[in-house]
Structures are given as C-alpha cells and as structure tokens.
Homo-oligomer: A and B are copies of this chain.
Amino acid sequence: LANNETKVFRKRFLDMHFYDQAHFYLSLEPDQRKQLYRVLNAHEVGDFFDTIEDDLPEMTELLAEMDTQYAANMLNDMFDDNAADILEHLPKEDVDRYLSLMNRSDAIKLRKLLHYDTETAGGIMTTDYVSVLEDLDVGQALAELKRVAADAETIYYVYVVNSDNLLVGVLTLRDLLVHDSHTKLAEIMTPNAITASVHDEQAEVAQKIRDYDFIALPVVDDQQKLVGIITVDDAIEVIDDEAQSDYSGLAGVDVDYVSENPFKAASKRLPWLITLLFLGMLTATLINHYEALLSTASILAVFISLITGTAGNAGTQSLAVAVRRLAVNGDNKPKIWRLVLSEVLTGLVTGVITGLTVMLIVGIWKQNLILGVTIGLAMAAAITVANLAGSLIPMLMEKIGFDPAVASGPFITTLSDLTSVLIYFSIAQFFLNAFLN
C-alpha cells in the first residue's frame, strides 16, 4: 500500500460503523489482515473487536496473527467485559502473557472479571461505568461525565455512590440535562436503584433489563458495593443466546452450527442419532418379546406407529412447555412438582379425549370393539406417560446438575416410543387373554 492509498483506505475504513469494520475484517485473508494491523493502531482495531462475538472459534488464531504487544494493547483498549469474554476462551498461558503486557490497573480489573462464573452477572458486566460521589451537584457531575466520556461503555446512566462505594442512587443523563447545574445530586437521583448481584444468573439479569426497559443495570457485590454494570446490548445477546440454546435443545441439534458440507453437518448430528438408535433398539427388543402375540394378532402391528407417534407429539408439547416455564424468572416460576402434576393432568385429559376418538375410529373401521378399546386405552395411557416424561425429565436433569438440553425433543419421543410400546402390548396381552378365556 502506497502512502497515499493508506490514507484513503484509513479514511474509508474508519468512516464505517464498527460493526461493518468487523464484518470487513473477518472477510479478509490472513495476509490481508496482517496488512491491516500495520495501517491501523491497536486502539482502532479494539474499537471493532468490541462488536465481534466473543465465542468466535478462530479468535485465538486472530490474536496470534498480531504482534503480542499489539494484541495486548488492543485488549487493553477494548471495553473490559468484551476483553474478558475473549480472554475466557483462550488458553491460560496466553491470558497470562497478554495480561502481563497490559497497563497494570487494567490487568487487575480484567483478572477480577475473569474470576466470575461466565453465566452470572459478574461474568458479563463491565467496569467501564460512570460513578460520582453523592455530595456533588449537577454541574460537577456533568464535568466528570465529559472527562470520562471516551472510556465509559455508557454515559447515559450515572451511578451515585457514597465514600464507601455503596450504591446510593442512579441518575440518567436526561435528569442531569434538565436540572440546574447547582442542584445537588441527592435531590434528583432515584434512590432505590434496581440492581443485580454479581452472583445472579445472566438470564435473570437480562430479563430484568428487558422488563424495566433499562439501558444498563448496576451490579453490586455482597456488601452492596457497586462493582460493574451490564449494558442492554449484552442483555440482548444473553436473551438471544438462551433462546437459541433452548431451541437447539428441543431439536436435539446445535442450530448455531452452520455448515453446508454434509459430512461436517452429519458429524454434528450423528452422535445423538446413534445414541437414540440404541434406545430405539430397546423398543425393538421389547416388540420382539411380544412376537408370539403379534403373530396371533398381526393387526396389532398396524397401530404401533399411531400410538408411539401421537404419544411422542404430546410429550414434545409437554417438554417445550416445561422447559419454557422453567426458564421463567421471578414470581411466575412454578413449583416443580406442581408443574409436573399440571402436565400429567393435562396429559390425562388430552389422552382420554384422543383415546376416545381413536377408539371410535378403530372400532368402526375394524368393526372390532375390543380392538378399539385396546387402542383407545393404550393411547390414553401412553399420552399421560409421555407428558410425565416430557415435564419430569428436564427438571430432574436440572436438579442433578445435568444440562436439561439433554432432555431434547428426540430423546423424549424415543423414550416415549419405549413406554408407549410397553403400555400398548401389556394392554393388548391383557385383553387377548381376557378374550381367549
């Protein structure tokens, strides 16, 4: 790049929005990116790195392309929540190297942030907020705001603290603008600020920001001292990510993984399919166990898929409702056993009605009342049990500390195949015996 071209390029690049800069940067080849590092300083690169998703798989390689000091400077210049999110995904020795090359006080802040569990308020908060002492007036607060405006992640909320750094109130920039510069902050601040604790779950905190329409939420430690804020852009990301993972869980596939290479895509889906295939083999073994019954009454085979299919559908509905209701925070969160009971009763009502319907259809179609009753009863019981499994299993998973996403839709339907077949053939066997005697 000639000197003149560099200038033109810099102007055009820096005129773009950070997100578009990041988009452009990620579309480059490694060699082109290395040229970019020569044209832009670490601060300018940090600006658009703030908009790159932190869980980008190639992040380690991107940083490795840069000069180590340059990368450390860039991380130093980024908002510290974003820098911490990147560091979190790096190997420990890389983290230590970068931190040792940073400004000491910033490195200490980052180390603290890295200490919090990633899925908590502490894990997503930033320390780049604006706080002022409670005895200032509006004019002094505005002066302080101007001073720190360049480094703060948001200047639209100003947090009022006492000399012990306890949060005593919150002010919006709007409040500051409309009041006279000699007004004391204590007179105009909102005293009982809504806060999050560093230990709160990120989903809960994001929901709070959504409910209250906040641009940022202050985070306090166990002593009620202000330690950070969570901004609305991070809340959106949390809400979106949690929704994606619930969705992926229900489908039994990571929908975030996009590949048009069928071998790669298949390699992501096969482990789960094959695992469920073995669970399905249990169902096959069970049916095999009833082969004598089947050869006596081969008509029974006609309705296997109707019963397993319908029960699977009901179980999937139950699962989805249970997972969503478990994700709800606050007052609306149901007691676990009450939710399971409600789902089982719903299953019973749905089961009885569906069972009666199918009994009528089969009874008329096959002109066989006993067969109709068998299918109807089996359907009702299978649906009730599927609802029990659909609501109970994700709860148990969560209780014992497993990822409830394992209780995916495919898992519930495959498990429900097993219970449905067991119920169906037990009832059929009973009726056949009653019929033969």
Which A residues lie at the B interface, using CB under 8 A? 15, 17-19, 51, 142, 145-146, 149-150, 155-156, 173-174, 177-178, 192, 194, 209-213, 215, 232-233, 235-237, 239-240, 243-244, 246-248, 250-253, 255-256, 258, 260, 262-263, 265-266, 269-270, 272-274, 276-277, 280-281, 283-284, 287-288, 291, 294-295, 298-306, 308-310, 312-314, 316-317, 319-321, 324-325, 332, 334, 338, 342, 345-346, 348-350, 353-354, 357-358, 361, 409-410, 413-414, 417, 421
Known: A212-B17, A280-B306, A316-B409. A270 touches B177 (CB 8 A): no
Name the B residues within 8 Å of A19 (CB-CB): 211-213
| CA gap between A57 and B317 in the complex, in Å | 23
Q: Are B250 and A250 in contact (CB under 8 A)?
A: yes
Q: Are A305 and B306 in contact (CB under 8 A)?
A: no
Name the B residues within 8 Å of A273 (CB-CB): 310, 313-314, 317, 350, 354
Chain B CB within 10 Å, residue with most, of A18, A321, A334: A321
* 17 A-B pairs whose Cβ atoms sit less than 8 Å apart in the complex: A146-B178, A149-B177, A155-B174, A215-B232, A232-B236, A239-B240, A244-B324, A253-B316, A255-B321, A262-B348, A265-B349, A269-B346, A273-B314, A276-B310, A277-B310, A309-B417, A312-B410
| CA gap between A346 and B250 in the complex, in Å | 20
Name the B residues within 8 Å of A250 (CB-CB): 247, 250-251, 320, 409
**Chain B residue, CB-CB nearest to A293:** B298
Known: A233-B213, A295-B298, A316-B410. A303 touches B284 (CB 8 A): yes
Known: A210-B233, A294-B301, A302-B284. A247 touches B248 (CB 8 A): no
Known: A250-B247, A306-B283. A413 touches B232 (CB 8 A): no
Min Cβ gap A248→B in Å is 7
Known: A17-B212, A235-B236, A280-B306. 15 other contacts (CB 8 A): A19-B211, A173-B173, A210-B237, A210-B240, A239-B239, A239-B243, A251-B320, A253-B316, A262-B348, A266-B350, A269-B314, A287-B305, A298-B301, A308-B309, A312-B413
Q: Are B414 and A252 in contact (CB under 8 A)?
A: no
| CA gap between A233 and B236 in the complex, in Å | 9
Q: Are B317 and A253 in contact (CB under 8 A)?
A: yes
| CA gap between A17 and B211 in the complex, in Å | 11
**Chain B residue, CB-CB nearest to A173:** B173
Known: A305-B417, A309-B414, A312-B312. A342 touches B280 (CB 8 A): no
Name the B residues within 8 Å of A253 (CB-CB): 316-317, 320-321
Q: Are A345 and B239 in contact (CB under 8 A)?
A: no
| CA gap between A421 and B301 in the complex, in Å | 12
| CA gap between A9 and B146 in the complex, in Å | 39
Q: Are B304 and A305 in contact (CB under 8 A)?
A: yes
**Chain B residue, CB-CB nearest to A320:** B251
Q: Are A287 and B310 in contact (CB under 8 A)?
A: no
The one of B194, B232, B303, B316 that contacts A252, using a Cβ cutoff of 8 Å: B316
Min Cβ gap A55→B in Å is 15
Q: Are A255 and B320 in contact (CB under 8 A)?
A: yes
| CA gap between A156 and B269 in the complex, in Å | 46
Min Cβ gap A200→B in Å is 17
Min Cβ gap A316→B in Å is 5
| CA gap between A284 and B256 in the complex, in Å | 36
| CA gap between A251 and B251 in the complex, in Å | 9
Chain B CB within 10 Å, residue with most, of A156, A276, A334, A409: A409
Known: A314-B269, A316-B252, A410-B316. A145 touches B258 (CB 8 A): no
